[in-house]
Structure 1
Amino acid sequence: MSGPLSLEPGDGHDTLALRLATPRPPRRRPRWALDDATLAIRLPGHGPDEEAVSTLAAELADAIGPAVHPYEVAALLEAEGLSASVIKERYGHPNLFSLATALYERVPRTFPEPPPAPDPWRPDTLRCLLRGVLFALPALAHLLTAPLWSLTRYAPVLIVAGIASWAWGQALGHRAHLRLVTGRREASGTLFAGSLLGAAMATALALIPGPDTLALAVAAGQSLYLAAAGVLLVLARERLLLAALSPLIAGAAVLPWWEPGPLARAGLPLLALLATLAAAGHVLWRGRTGPSAPHAPRTPVRASLPYGLFGLAAAVLVVLTGRQQPYAVIALTLSMGPAEWLLYRYRGWSVAALRGSATPGGFLLRSAGVLAGCLGAYLLLLLPAALLTGADPATPLLLAAALWTALLLQAFGTAWPPALLCLAAAASAGAVTALDLPPEPVVLPAVCAAAALCLAVCALRVLGRPSPHA
């Protein structure tokens, strides 16, 4: 039985629903975007269907919440396949943008935190610790060869050659890292030429006091080792260097129980030196066989000058500390591994602080906290070792603070301020020591404290801004 259906305004019936005879096949679209089997004919002038729009807003709340403009919602609806007919007939909106605006206004704004990004500065803990050990292992050569020659007589020659090698190695290492950006072949060429020149220069300094065959031989061995070890460390071949030093380690390990004799005492360090030279030569040869970059830009040599000057100043300060506290220098050398690890950690934690800061002032406070935490952790790590030496820990701790902060600034490309500050400290302490001026014992810790304070202020000024960490 059938009859007319009243659709007069105000009678409570404003929609005529007609069931289609054959349902459409399912489509791979969201349920709310499908044209179902019911055709809704809405009377004109009645506006949007608020209930349907609210239901759609609830279903799409997670996707609409992060939107910053209704156009983003419109793009979402269009991408999901919402047709114009569905928009008009089911939701009562004249077009896509009208529905998108309604959805945008109904759903509150939500800005979910992005997933945590991987730390690009996560350090290799084992590698950092190994580097600290490798810095100190060459001292075993002096332990083995001590009965064969007078260390007191030849110490000035070795110190001068060592200072020169340290300064040259710092500058060469910086230049080699710049060339590594161009290619391994270019870096290998720079290291080969630079290491030979540096070793020759440091060895030649042994001739200044006068011709002495033994002094020249010892200085040459020390300079060649430092040059070859620098090559392996720059090219991240620490394990190869450790293997090359194994004869030295084995000889020193048996000294408490066995007297190896003059031949073994001289032969084991020589064998370690030859192994280090062979390892460095092998690595450089393999690097030179790689592809070349003929049109790569070359950085001026003067760009590495401040790094060499810092190496010179650091070497002088360490030597002056060693005059008063030789065992503290060994502890300081071993601590270079944890110091390098903390440099990586500072960069990673600074990036995390940048992500968690909303204002430049907030980042400055976080950056100061990261700097204080890393520096404090380094000094706390060094303090027990300094106390075990039985000397006043103030000087090695202040020197360590100055050197670590200077290395931190250099890691961010700020080279001249740490170089000049450390040079001023080294020149002041060196002049007082050389001229035997009073009060000599307190000058070194005083200049180290002043340098550390100035470097910390410089680090806060330079690294307390977001731009170096972006």
Structure 2
Amino acid sequence: MSGSVWLPPGARPDSLPAVPRQRTAPSWAEPDPVDELADRLEDFIAAAVHPDEIAALLESDGMSDDRIRQTYGVKNSFALAEELYARVDRRPPEPENPVPDPWRTSLLGCLVRGVVFALPGLAYVLGAPLLAGPGNDLGLPAGTVPLLAGALTGWTWNQGLSHRAYSWLGLGDRTAARRCLLVGAPVGAVLGALSALAVTGTADPGALAFAAGQSVYLGAATVLLVMGRERHLLYALLPMAVAAALTPVLPVPPPVRYPLLLGSLATVAVLALREVAPALKDQGWTAGLTALWPFGSYGGQEHRRGGTGPWLAASLPYALFGLGSGVLVLYAAIGDVLAGGTTSAVAAPAAVALTLSMGPAEWLLHRFRSGSLTGLRSTATARAFRRATALMVARCLTGYLAVLLALAVTAAALWPRSPELTGPRLTGLLLLGVVVWTGLLLQSFGAIIGAATVCCAAALAQTLLLLTHTHGTAPLVYGVAAAVQTALACLLLGRATAHR
């Protein structure tokens, strides 16, 4: 019969077993808590460049390792971050408006700073008679010994002082920065003069006076540069620089050249004193010692909250980096003298090229920082970001070396009695340029210990070579230092967390 149901013999409809209910899903089919977490944090995970960013978010949300092991079955936050990173495709967010670039800077401003760095070198042209004298064992005039000692002391001290003052500025306390410079700059000038005095030997007293003036200038210029007064420094040096530039064509007599030197020095010192003078109105030298030294209360606005200032030990690696790089630059200048058949204390076109290149070097550092931000937004994986960072390092470094090469060739062509720019010397200069620029790059990211270690090791090796009269192996030292420091820069800066 249509619509009937067959039943076994003797069976009644009410005796049939009930239709079984649908079974629940087994426990292994329950939603994965890691997937649920990935869904909840999908936007953040998709925008992350490295699992460490996700781990930082998990830790900031208060997820302990014990909770992670119980809930998600993985060892810790880093293991969970790697699992989340693997489950979500990369999808960098597109900004609605153009993202502001905090590292965009003016090329003209950087070039002005480069000129300001180089102009003091022209003072050696006017002061050359004070530095003359019989050559020492290395063939250098006796007057250059106190000059070099004072310069190295000043560079070391003022590099550390600059970092400490910039640290106060970074904390928003401009008054504490002024106090730090108010005490630190005179202390550096005294130390530089004492270093020159300790190695004066048979040098003319005029050389000691010149070295002392150089120490005063380094301290005063540090004040102006840290406080952003490059143009003031430029204007103060212009009369002396013009006279020095005209010396090869129209010799300047001593009654004119020495007042020009003293006038420029006095102008720079007065400008620096005016810059830090506001700090004298508030506790003066006592507060300056507090800002320079780590002990005592934090100055300025934070003083009322009972905080402490930046620790002094943090500035030590910067001072050592100044010492190491300063020694390498001075050896580049000495190499010009030793190779050129001249005992002139100012025959240093390599040092001039390096100093002038600091302006373009600074601009390229900003370009790298800007490019790294673009890489963070445009790359989808950690490997892609590392590749983009390495390419950016290569591009900026190549640009810097091109500028340094052009400056070196120009300086060698224009410099009086300049030694011939041979292949080995040019190679050594370019390798030294790699060391200097990558060191500045690491310094700008706070990786100063590696840069200071490499530069100081290279400076020590160069010193040993100079003492043993082994000058031809300098490019080898520069090459090793350049390779180590470039690899260090690519390794450290290839991590996304280094750019945050």
Q: TM-score range by the shorter chain?
A: 0.7 to 0.9
The question of whether the paired residues in 2 share the 8 Å contact of 1:418 and 1:455 is answered with yes
Rounded to whole Å, the distance in 2 between the matches of 1:149 and 1:394 is: 30
Indicate whether 1:420 and 2:450 are aligned: no
In structure 2, the CA distance between the partners of 1:281 and 1:464, relative to structure 1 (3 Å rule), is same
Q: Render the CA deviation track for 1:381-417: whole Å, top value 9, x for unaligned.
A: 1112223424131111111111111111111111111
In structure 2, the CA distance between the partners of 1:217 and 1:114, relative to structure 1 (3 Å rule), is same
User: Which of 208, 215, 221 in structure 1 is aligned with 2:213?
Assistant: 221
In structure 2, the CA distance between the partners of 1:430 and 1:149, relative to structure 1 (3 Å rule), is closer
Question: Which amino acid letter does the alignment assign opposite residue 429 of structure 2?
Answer: P
Q: Render the CA deviation track for 1:414-454: whole Å, top value 9, x for unaligned.
A: 11111111111111111121122xxx233221111111111
Question: Which amino acid letter does the alignment assign opposite residue 378 of structure 1?
Answer: Y
The question of whether the paired residues in 1 share the 8 Å contact of 2:130 and 2:143 is answered with no
**Aligned match of 2:434:** 401
Indicate whether 1:307 and 2:318 are aligned: yes
Which has the larger displacement, 242-251 or 186-195? 242-251
Rounded to whole Å, the distance in 2 between the matches of 1:382 and 1:433 is: 24
**Aligned match of 1:180:** 169
Secondary structure in 1 matching 2:473: helix
Question: Which amino acid letter does the alignment assign opposite residue 328 of structure 2?
Answer: L
In structure 2, the CA distance between the partners of 1:379 and 1:253, relative to structure 1 (3 Å rule), is closer
**Aligned match of 2:372:** 350
Alignment of 1:383-462 (within 5 A): 383-388=405-410, 389=412, 390-391=420-421, 392-436=425-469, 440-462=470-492
**Aligned match of 1:37:** none
Q: Render the CA deviation track for 1:308-331: whole Å, top value 9, x for unaligned.
A: 111111111111111222211111
Question: Which amino acid letter does the alignment assign opposite residue 465 of structure 1?
Answer: R
Rounded to whole Å, the distance in 2 between the matches of 1:330 and 1:284 is: 30
The question of whether the paired residues in 2 share the 8 Å contact of 1:185 and 1:289 is answered with no
Indicate whether 1:337 and 2:359 are aligned: yes
Deviation at 1:115, TM superposition (A): 2.9
Deviation at 1:124, TM superposition (A): 2.2
Indicate whether 1:468 and 2:460 are aligned: no
In structure 2, the CA distance between the partners of 1:240 and 1:397, relative to structure 1 (3 Å rule), is same
**Aligned match of 1:367:** 389
The question of whether the paired residues in 1 share the 8 Å contact of 2:131 and 2:144 is answered with no
- Report the identity percentage: 39
The question of whether the paired residues in 2 share the 8 Å contact of 1:188 and 1:288 is answered with no
Deviation at 1:110, TM superposition (A): 13
Rounded to whole Å, the distance in 2 between the matches of 1:428 and 1:449 is: 12
Deviation at 1:292, TM superposition (A): 2.3
Rounded to whole Å, the distance in 2 between the matches of 1:203 and 1:141 is: 17
Rounded to whole Å, the distance in 2 between the matches of 1:247 and 1:173 is: 27
Question: Which amino acid letter does the alignment assign opposite residue 122 of structure 1?
Answer: R
Rounded to whole Å, the distance in 1 between the matches of 2:107 and 2:150 is: 32
Rounded to whole Å, the distance in 1 between the matches of 2:161 and 2:207 is: 25
Question: Which amino acid letter does the alignment assign opposite residue 456 of structure 2?
Answer: L
**Aligned match of 1:150:** 132
The question of whether the paired residues in 2 share the 8 Å contact of 1:148 and 1:262 is answered with no
Deviation at 1:199, TM superposition (A): 0.8
Deviation at 1:254, TM superposition (A): 4.1
Rounded to whole Å, the distance in 2 between the matches of 1:368 and 1:284 is: 42
Deviation at 1:111, TM superposition (A): 7.5
In structure 2, the CA distance between the partners of 1:276 and 1:450, relative to structure 1 (3 Å rule), is same
Question: Which amino acid letter does the alignment assign opposite residue 325 of structure 2?
Answer: A
Deviation at 1:210, TM superposition (A): 5.1
The question of whether the paired residues in 2 share the 8 Å contact of 1:168 and 1:198 is answered with yes
The question of whether the paired residues in 1 share the 8 Å contact of 2:130 and 2:210 is answered with no
The question of whether the paired residues in 2 share the 8 Å contact of 1:247 and 1:269 is answered with no
In structure 2, the CA distance between the partners of 1:387 and 1:255, relative to structure 1 (3 Å rule), is closer
Indicate whether 1:379 and 2:379 are aligned: no
Rounded to whole Å, the distance in 2 between the matches of 1:264 and 1:317 is: 34
**Aligned match of 1:323:** 334
Rounded to whole Å, the distance in 2 between the matches of 1:456 and 1:258 is: 45
Deviation at 1:257, TM superposition (A): 5.2
In structure 2, the CA distance between the partners of 1:147 and 1:302, relative to structure 1 (3 Å rule), is same
Secondary structure in 2 matching 1:220: helix
In structure 2, the CA distance between the partners of 1:248 and 1:111, relative to structure 1 (3 Å rule), is closer
Structure 1 segments unaligned to the other structure (5+ residues): 1-66, 69-108
**Aligned match of 1:21:** none
Indicate whether 1:192 and 2:182 are aligned: yes
Rounded to whole Å, the distance in 2 between the matches of 1:387 and 1:110 is: 45
Q: Rg larger in 1 or in 2? A: 1
**Aligned match of 2:53:** none
In structure 2, the CA distance between the partners of 1:364 and 1:114, relative to structure 1 (3 Å rule), is farther
Q: Render the CA deviation track for 1:69-115: whole Å, top value 9, x for unaligned.
A: xxxxxxxxxxxxxxxxxxxxxxxxxxxxxxxxxxxxxxxx9986533
User: Which of 155, 174, 179 in structure 2 is aligned with 1:166?
Assistant: 155
Rounded to whole Å, the distance in 1 between the matches of 2:92 and 2:353 is: 53
Question: Which amino acid letter does the alignment assign opposite residue 170 of structure 2?
Answer: V
Rounded to whole Å, the distance in 1 between the matches of 2:121 and 2:190 is: 21
Rounded to whole Å, the distance in 2 between the matches of 1:121 and 1:288 is: 34
Alignment of 1:204-283 (within 5 A): 204-209=194-199, 213-256=205-248, 258-283=250-275
Deviation at 1:153, TM superposition (A): 2.4
In structure 2, the CA distance between the partners of 1:117 and 1:210, relative to structure 1 (3 Å rule), is closer
The question of whether the paired residues in 2 share the 8 Å contact of 1:196 and 1:227 is answered with yes
In structure 2, the CA distance between the partners of 1:301 and 1:255, relative to structure 1 (3 Å rule), is same
The question of whether the paired residues in 2 share the 8 Å contact of 1:339 and 1:378 is answered with yes
Question: Which amino acid letter does the alignment assign opposite residue 138 of structure 1?
Answer: P
**Aligned match of 1:122:** 104
The question of whether the paired residues in 1 share the 8 Å contact of 2:435 and 2:482 is answered with yes
In structure 2, the CA distance between the partners of 1:281 and 1:358, relative to structure 1 (3 Å rule), is same
The question of whether the paired residues in 1 share the 8 Å contact of 2:122 and 2:245 is answered with no
Q: Render the CA deviation track for 1:126-153: whole Å, top value 9, x for unaligned.
A: 2210111111111221212324552622
Structure 2 segments unaligned to the other structure (5+ residues): 1-41, 44-90, 134-140, 283-298, 337-347, 413-419
